[in-house]
């Protein structure tokens, strides 16, 4: 699942890490990331790649539980 | 001694929940237990092992000696009243296939299939007049694990974990060691937290499996390595904590944060706790571990060697978990309703099924008791042996026994419980001898909580408008059993 998400992000938001994070948050959480979230997630994506980043998203409490 | 003034600390800490430090503090409280380490009275015990015989172990073939059954073997059984059975009509009086012999200083009579427990019998407190409410497996199981015979209530282990918290940050407070052949009736409901905070549910560990704990380690993948896994967990922790601090009062969120932390710690601590390879040979022998390990063959027939390995390994792992601070360990024996039957539900053939199960169980249980004793841990560890209900004094077919919810046996050991017999069944093993004063699961649970320093009437959680207890509105501490 994380691998497929990574492929989609590379295809649909190729420009920058921030763009990928924003798109991924829209897809998984239905909203844009907060400033703090953007910072943490962008840093992880830059260092560890899209697939590792997608694993985090799918394990977020914000993803698991709908408010 | 009263503790009514002490919850101030808790109230103070609770008042901080919602502020920036709220999450960490509520987490601290959970680790402490709801009683915050301040108990209702000085405790005698710190931890509990529940040995659960799935399918319903026969009391009259193990611990509850009934010479009358031998005298009347094969004669029509007439207890002088209507007998309602679960799935059969009462057969003839059915003597146990095994010899009973006296053990220990009190000459306690036990059958040959539980002979290994003879070495520790003076430490066992037998309760032969336990009365159930139902002859249905799932309900009987829930009654013994949660104190209610219908779903929706926390397991006794969850209550203990909730009250006392964990003695260690590296392992869960409540661990379940299921039979590797299947889950008991109700599955995970037997160790569910129900309305208690989620982190008090039992954590399932399967000793002997390739992966004893599901999902403890990251899956094999070409994009996951140790470095990005660790970095991912760190980022996840930050993000989930941010999310939870904006939603105070939802314990599921902090439980998940905590479960990731615990999982990271358990990658080391659980691996160590489950590794019995460095145990000396005499310990492995005492627990009945097979030279070929957990892969010992039981495919053709249920056999003593395999049952000893299966139950013994769980008992040894239980000891290692208790040593490392786990509060409550639930150990299951038997669960497979295929053929050959590998559980205690001996409708068809008591002799074939009960012998290997009981010999394996009693060897592992006796080893656990001896081992805890030699480590000085038996004095503050309670061991409870229980099952769903008993089995009938009459036969089903010619070799089996049907369910008997009217009376069965429990025994307790350690944790300030003294040896002896507390409560008798009637001459048949059909009903309690004193029908007006049976023992119920509430009394057993009340006594265990008492030894842990908890008043079972004061450990309550409001759910659906009712202050719920492990013991419902029942339960008496069995004072005569306390050392």
* A49 with B256: Cβ contact below 8 A: no
Question: Chain B: nearest CA to A59, how far in angstroms?
Answer: 7
Please check whether residue B249 touches A, CB under 8 A.
no
End-to-end distance of chain B based on CA atoms, in angstroms?
Answer: 20
Q: How many Cβ pairs within 8 Å bridge chains A and B? A: 61
Q: Which structure tokens are listed for B325?
A: 């601070």
DSSP string over B401-414: --EE-S-EEEEEES
Is any Cβ of chain B less than 8 angstroms from the Cβ of A58? no
ipTM: 0.96
Residue B270 backbone dihedrals phi, psi, to 5 degrees? -75, -35
Is there a contact between A56 and B224 if contact means CB atoms under 8 Å apart?
A: no
Phi, psi dihedrals of residue B130, rounded to the nearest 5°:
-75, 130
CB B23 within 8 A of CB B257: yes
pLDDT of residue B327: 96
| Interchain contact, A51 vs B223, CB within 8 Å | yes
Q: What is the pLDDT of residue B64?
A: 98
Phi, psi of B147 (to 5 degrees): 85, 0
pLDDT digits (tens, 9 = 90+) for A6-37: 999 999 988 899 999 999 999 999 999 999 99
Q: How far is CA B413 from the centre of its chain?
A: 13
CB contact (8 A) between residue B232 and residue A3: no
CA distance B24 to chain A (A): 16
C-alpha A18, offset from chain centre: 9
Sort out which chain A residues have CB atoms less than 8 A from B264's CB and list them. Answer: none
User: Which residues, other chains included, contact B326 with Cβ-Cβ below 8 Å and sequence gap of 6+?
Assistant: B47, B166, B167, B168, B171, B172, B173, B174, B175
DSSP letters for B378-402: GGGEEEEEEES-EE-SB-BTTTB--
Identify the band that residue A66 occupies on the pLDDT scale cut at 50, 70 and 90. confident
Nearest residue to B123 (alpha-carbon basis) of B476, B381, B315: B381
What residues in A contact B260, CB-CB < 8 Å? 59
Q: What does the block give as tokens for B107?
A: 């000459």
Note the pLDDT of residue B13: 45
Å from B322 to nearest chain A CA?
31
Distance of alpha carbon B404 from alpha carbon B430, whole angstroms:
7
Asked if A48 and B253 come within 8 Å (Cβ–Cβ), the reply is no
Residue ranges, chain B, pLDDT below 70: 1-31
- CA distances in angstroms from B52 to B124, B331, B335, B353, B365, listed in the order given: 16, 6, 11, 16, 11
Q: CB-based burial of residue B92 (10 Å sphere; 0-12 exposed, 13-18 middle, 19+ buried)? A: middle
């Amino acid at each position: 699942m994380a691998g497929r998400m990574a492929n989609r992000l590379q295809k649909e938001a190729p420009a920058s890490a921030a763009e990928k994070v924003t798109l991924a948050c829209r897809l998984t959480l239905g909203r844009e990331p907060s400033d703090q979230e953007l910072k943490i997630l962008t840093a992880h994506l830059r260092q560890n790649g899209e697939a590792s980043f997608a694993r985090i998203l799918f394990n977020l409490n914000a993803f698991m539980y709908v408010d | 001694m009263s503790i009514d003034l002490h919850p101030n600390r808790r109230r103070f800490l609770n008042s901080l929940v919602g502020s920036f430090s709220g999450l960490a503090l509520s987490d601290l409280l959970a680790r402490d237990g709801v009683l915050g380490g301040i108990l209702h009275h000085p405790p005698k015990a710190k931890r509990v092992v529940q040995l659960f015989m799935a399918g319903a172990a026969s009391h009259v073939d193990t611990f509850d000696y009934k010479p009358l059954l031998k005298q009347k073997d094969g004669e029509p059984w007439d207890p002088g009243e209507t007998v309602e059975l679960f799935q059969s009509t009462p057969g003839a009086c059915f003597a146990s296939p095994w010899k009973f012999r006296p053990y220990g200083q009190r000459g306690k009579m036990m059958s040959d299939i539980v002979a290994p427990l003879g070495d520790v019998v003076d430490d066992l407190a037998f309760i032969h007049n336990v009365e159930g409410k139902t002859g249905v497996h799932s309900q009987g199981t829930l009654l013994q694990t949660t104190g209610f015979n219908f779903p929706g209530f926390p397991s006794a282990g969850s209550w203990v974990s909730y009250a006392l918290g964990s003695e260690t940050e590296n392992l869960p407070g409540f661990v379940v060691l299921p039979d590797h052949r299947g889950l008991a009736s109700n599955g995970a409901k037997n160790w569910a937290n129900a309305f208690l905070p989620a982190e008090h549910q039992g954590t399932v560990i399967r000793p002997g499996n390739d992966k004893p704990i599901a999902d403890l380690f990251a899956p094999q993948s070409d994009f996951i390595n140790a470095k990005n896994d660790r970095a991912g967990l760190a980022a996840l922790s930050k993000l989930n904590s941010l999310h939870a601090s904006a939603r105070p009062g939802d314990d599921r969120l902090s439980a998940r944060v905590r479960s990731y932390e615990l999982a990271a710690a358990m990658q080391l601590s659980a691996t160590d706790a489950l590794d019995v390879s460095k145990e000396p040979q005499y310990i492995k022998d005492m627990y009945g571990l097979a030279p070929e390990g957990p892969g010992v063959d039981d495919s053709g027939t249920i056999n003593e060697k395999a049952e000893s390995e299966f139950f013994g390994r769980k008992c040894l792992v239980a000891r290692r978990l208790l040593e490392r601070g786990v509060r409550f360990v639930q150990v299951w024996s038997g669960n497979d309703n295929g053929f050959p039957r590998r559980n205690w539900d001996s409708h068809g053939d008591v002799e074939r099924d009960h012998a290997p199960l009981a010999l394996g169980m009693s060897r592992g249980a006796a080893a656990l008791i001896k081992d805890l004793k030699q480590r000085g841990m038996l004095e503050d560890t309670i061991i409870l042996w229980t099952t769903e209900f008993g089995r009938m004094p009459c036969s089903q077919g010619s070799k089996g026994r049907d369910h008997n919810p009217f009376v069965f046996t429990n025994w307790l050991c350690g944790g300030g419980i003294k040896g002896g017999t507390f409560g008798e069944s009637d001459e048949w093993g059909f009903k309690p001898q004193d029908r007006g004063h049976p023992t119920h699961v509430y009394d057993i649970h009340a006594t265990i909580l008492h030894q842990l320093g908890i008043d079972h009437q004061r450990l309550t959680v409001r759910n659906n408008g009712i202050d719920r207890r492990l013991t419902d509105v029942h339960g008496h501490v069995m004072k005569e059993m306390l050392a």
